[in-house]
Amino acid sequence: MVGSTPRHMIRSATLWVIIFLMIIPVGMGAVPVNDTNSGFIVVTNPPEADFFTSVRYGSGPFTVSFSDNSRGAEPLTYLWEFGDGTSSDRKNPTHTYAASGEYTVSLTVTNRYGSDTKSVPGYIGVGNPPGAGFSASPQQGDVPLMVSFSDESTNRPMTWLWNFGDGSSSTEQNPVHTYVSPGIYFVTLRVSNNFGSNSLTKSDYIDVTSSPPVQSVEPFQPEADRPGGLAGLIRAAKGSTDKHLPTSGFIPPELMALGAVLTSLALLVIQFLIANISVISQFGDKLARFLADLAGEHAVEKLNEKEIEARKIAIRKTGPHFFGFSAMEILVIEVAVIMVALAFILADRAELTLQTVLIYISVGAVSVVLHDFAHRYYATKHGHDADTLFWGLGTAIMFLTAWLFGNAFAQSYRSLVNREKEDETREMGIEMIAGPAVSIILTFIFLAMVLFGGLWAVIGGIGFTINLITAVYSLMPIETMDGRAIWNWNRGLYLVMFVPLLLFYFYTFMLI
């Protein structure tokens, strides 16, 4: 038939199509060849081993279920090595560890494109929670007591948490802790590892007792590093300088006395600023005068006037007098004595026993009464009315410097004299110099008492400190103190008295 395709040609074409369709899938699954001119694109999917478990640590016998998380073309074959000499070819095996220890787990996965292995050292841990245990040495002694703690826990703990019973703690394995307050303390140790935790508390374990009486003074001993003469006597009078002050972290011990002086003066200036703030804010011309006064000698004098005006302080003419003091003044002096005693107890970080408190009050009473009686004697002799008043700012400064610097640099009372003339500089100077002169004499009398040792040395050390600070503070050349009137009367005498005393103060508290 004309125009028809021969049958044998149709069969031939069909055969070639079948052969072509068979070649394509064979080429796509073939292994890569090095012949870059072959014309084929070869795709592979090699394996990447990975696995995980829900738990890794436990007590023996410890059963672990392993989960395969590998990637790659299927089918995959598996070979697990559990680290204890056993293996498995399952995809997600379960294995039980019988003995304690740390085990390395490996997984090897294989497919037709290759193999891959993941190995994790110490992946499985088998063991037991720790058992807490400890000891301490010494377990009792005087404050400050340094105690060394030793961990005696079992089953290899990895972390430690100590509670020493006084609010302090530590994470060291074998800590050393110092108890600074008397008392009976419990101690707790909590230990942990990968398998759990355990704690142990020992009640009434550390017994910290008080040191022998505060400011106890040892007899002079032939120690090479102990100064002799006046320096040794002063050091004995001062007692221990280890007071655990809040400022000791950033102020050297030798600068504490200077810090007390500067803080005391700074607070006086601050009160002066507060007293004049309304004037400063309203009148520019008064601001200029204020700055001039602040730089000059009248600043604290105005503070004194402001305080007297604000508090409506007046010289009280009260009834009968006892040794020159009215009943009200005696009450004020008694309160001042107690404040002085408490401030110096705080400054010395002394133990609050009945004996200690009585010693401080007795020494403070002698110091305050004799200082003020000397003022009163000459004021009465010159025919002036005088009054002793409690001074709140001075009391606050005294306690603040005692707490911060271990040096109660202030006083809790003040004396006022009623004068009709402002030019009685000589009489006023004599009246004001009497108090510091008595305090200076008492300073060295109490210092000499240290030589007798025992309780006399304790009393002498306390009296020496109180009277030295009182004398220096009262001679400061400011209106609220005695030094201002002495300066106005006789500057040469003032310098002869104040400068050596100030140097002796710094020598006592900064150099020795």
CB atoms within 10 A of CB 414: 22
User: What pLDDT digit, counting tens, does each position of 298-312 carry?
Assistant: 444 454 555 445 444
The residue with greater pLDDT, 148 or 427, is 148
% the chain with pLDDT above 90: 34
pLDDT higher than 60, residue 8: no
Q: Where are the domains of the chain?
A: 51-126, 134-209, 234-511
- Select from 474, 368, 367 the least CA-distant residue to 431: 474
Q: What is the pLDDT of residue 369?
A: 85
Q: What is the pLDDT of residue 175?
A: 94
Is residue 242 within 8 A of residue 272, CB to CB? The reply is no
- pLDDT band for position 499 (cuts 50, 70, 90): very high
Q: What is the pLDDT of residue 236?
A: 77
Element (H, E) at 235: helix 229-238
- Using CA atoms, how far apart are residues 240 and 459, in angstroms rounded to an integer? 15
pLDDT higher than 60, residue 339: yes
Q: What is the pLDDT of residue 214?
A: 45
Rounded average pLDDT over 441-451: 91
- pLDDT band for position 219 (cuts 50, 70, 90): very low
Environment class of 372 (CB within 10 Å of its CB; exposed 0-12, middle 13-18, buried 19+):
buried
Q: Which superfamily, per CATH, for 134-209?
A: Immunoglobulins (2.60.40.10)
pLDDT higher than 80, residue 208: yes
Q: Indicate the pTM of the whole model.
A: 0.50
CATH topology identical between 51-126 and 134-209: yes
User: What pLDDT digit, counting tens, does each position of 140-196 carry?
Assistant: 999 889 999 999 999 889 999 999 999 899 999 999 999 988 999 999 999 999 888
Rounded average pLDDT over 270-294: 59
Q: What is the pLDDT of residue 130?
A: 92
pLDDT higher than 90, residue 121: yes
User: What pLDDT digit, counting tens, does each position of 17-47 carry?
Assistant: 555 555 444 444 444 444 445 556 667 899 9
User: What pLDDT digit, counting tens, does each position of 55-83 carry?
Assistant: 898 888 889 999 999 999 999 999 999 99
Contacts of 448 (CB under 8 A, 6+ apart): 460
- Select from 206, 213, 163, 214 the least CA-distant residue to 182: 206
- Using CA atoms, how far apart are residues 20 and 36, in angstroms rounded to an integer? 22
Rounded average pLDDT over 97-107: 91
CATH number of 51-126: 2.60.40.10
Peptide bond into 138 cis (omega under 30): yes
**One-letter amino acid for residue 251 of the chain:** I
The residue with greater pLDDT, 461 or 384, is 461
- pLDDT band for position 349 (cuts 50, 70, 90): confident
State whether residue 481 is helix, strand or coil. Answer: coil
Is residue 163 within 8 A of residue 149, CB to CB? The reply is no
Q: What is the pLDDT of residue 325?
A: 60
Q: What is the pLDDT of residue 27?
A: 43
Q: What is the pLDDT of residue 151?
A: 95
Q: What are phi and psi of 24, to 5 degrees?
A: -60, -55
The residue with greater pLDDT, 337 or 250, is 337
Is residue 264 within 8 A of residue 473, CB to CB? The reply is yes
Q: What is the pLDDT of residue 59?
A: 82
Rounded average pLDDT over 80-109: 93
- pLDDT band for position 211 (cuts 50, 70, 90): low
Please provide the distance, in angstroms rounded to a whole number, between the alpha carbons at the two ends of the chain.
138
